[in-house]
């Protein structure tokens, strides 16, 4: 059942399942909480209360927002955690991975652990050699086109590259749902606003995080020429001993949708080990 929380600037839609310690799931730009549909049941079965959130402008959340930064998104996620009676483990994908970093640094009493799935958490720069990587070149051209021109077909084309090889069950329906949402008034504006932002605000807070962090990257993620190097750089920027990097072979930019069993396994192992010792 969808619930709505009024925050400064609009309303955030979310759905809660299960009972136990709280895990909050936040998706990437151009998507909705449906991205976690295969991850939620095993987390609930493991004894967690899981709240899947639609980011501002996405899914069933409202569309009229003044800005779309990671700092803004972090504030929305912290509001949800407060409302649900945190603290919580915060799981963020792509842009909301950076938002999770900011939230954990800003309110350490509300965030006990962070999982960043293929996160944009650091300021990005493209080197000439990166463009020689075909997967990166194809992904960036489609992504840039979608955010520059507000093109739903180009976004669908990007998703085809971002899900290399293995497509999740119900792929055609998932694409149609994303397509339908982005054609609703205001939804593409949110995607373009998020895509036009910078992760610099998140990168500036990496050193302020005080809880354990799991970073998960796909070996075939088209958003980076070298996904492992990006993951290692995030871990290196965290305080010593807090970060751990896991790579998923064959995954693109959506490991939680392509390989939900593996992502769930990594998250639960992290919560039993790193997070439980913190």
Quote the mean pLDDT of the chain: 95
Segment 16-36 shows an average pLDDT of 97
CA dihedral sign of residues 254, 255, 260, 266 = negative
127: confidence class by pLDDT, cuts 50, 70, 90: confident
**Per-residue model confidence (pLDDT) at position 133:** 85
What is the span of the domain harbouring residue 108? 3-277
Judged on CB neighbours under 10 Å (0-12, 13-18, 19+), 19 is exposed
Segment 226-231 shows an average pLDDT of 96
Segment 214-243 shows an average pLDDT of 96
* 167-179 pLDDT per residue, tens: 998 999 999 999 9
Q: For the chain, what percent of residues have pLDDT higher than 90?
A: 88
CATH number reported for the structural domain that contains residue 42 in this entry = 3.40.50.1820
Give me the residue label for tokens 């390989």.
259
**Per-residue model confidence (pLDDT) at position 98:** 97
* 42-56 pLDDT per residue, tens: 999 999 999 999 999
Q: Are 168 and 132 in contact (CB under 8 A)?
A: no
How many domains does the chain fold into? 1
Asked if residue 274 has pLDDT above 80, the reply is no
Rg (CA), the chain: 17
* 158-167 pLDDT per residue, tens: 999 999 998 9
Segment 106-120 shows an average pLDDT of 97
Identify the CA nearest to 3 among candidates 80, 56, 77: 80
Q: Which long-range contacts (CB under 8 A, 24 or more apart) does 263-269 make?
A: 263/39, 263/117, 263/216, 264/39, 264/42, 264/43, 266/214, 266/216, 267/39, 267/43, 267/91, 267/115, 267/214, 268/42, 268/43, 268/46
Q: Which two tokens stand for residue 150?
A: 């507000």
Asked if residue 248 has pLDDT above 90, the reply is yes
**Per-residue model confidence (pLDDT) at position 277:** 63
* 41-91 pLDDT per residue, tens: 999 999 999 999 999 999 999 999 999 999 999 999 999 999 999 899 999
Asked if residue 36 has pLDDT above 60, the reply is yes
Q: Which of 166-175, 183-192, 215-224, 249-258 has the lowest mean pLDDT?
A: 166-175
Asked if residue 128 has pLDDT above 80, the reply is no
**Per-residue model confidence (pLDDT) at position 126:** 77
């Amino acid at each position: 059942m969808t619930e709505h929380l009024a925050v400064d600037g609009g309303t955030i839609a979310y759905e809660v399942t299960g009972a136990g310690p709280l895990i909050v799931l936040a998706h990437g730009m151009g998507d909705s909480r449906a991205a976690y549909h295969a991850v939620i049941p095993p987390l609930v079965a493991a004894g967690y209360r899981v709240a899947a959130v639609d980011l501002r402008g996405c899914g069933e959340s409202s569309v009229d927002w003044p800005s779309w930064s990671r700092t803004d998104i972090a504030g929305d996620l912290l509001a949800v955690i407060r409302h649900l009676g945190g603290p919580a483990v915060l799981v963020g994908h792509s842009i909301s991975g950076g938002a999770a970093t900011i939230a954990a640094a800003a309110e350490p009493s509300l965030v006990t652990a962070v999982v960043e799935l293929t996160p944009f958490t650091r300021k990005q720069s493209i080197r000439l050699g990166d463009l020689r990587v075909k997967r990166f070149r194809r992904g960036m051209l489609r992504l840039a086109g979608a955010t520059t021109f507000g093109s739903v077909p180009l976004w669908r084309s990007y998703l085809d590259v971002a899900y290399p090889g293995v497509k999740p069950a119900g792929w055609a329906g998932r694409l149609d749902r994303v397509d339908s949402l982005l054609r609703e008034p205001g939804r593409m504006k949110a995607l373009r606003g998020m895509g036009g932002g910078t992760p610099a605000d998140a990168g500036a807070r990496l050193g302020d995080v005080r809880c354990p962090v799991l970073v998960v990257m796909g070996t075939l993620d088209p958003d980076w020429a070298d996904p492992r190097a990006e993951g290692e750089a995030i871990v290196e920027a965290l305080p010593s001993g807090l970060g751990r990097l896991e790579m998923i072979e064959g995954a693109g930019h959506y490991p939680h949708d392509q390989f939900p069993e593996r992502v769930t396994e990594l998250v639960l192992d992290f919560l039993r080990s790193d997070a439980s010792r913190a």
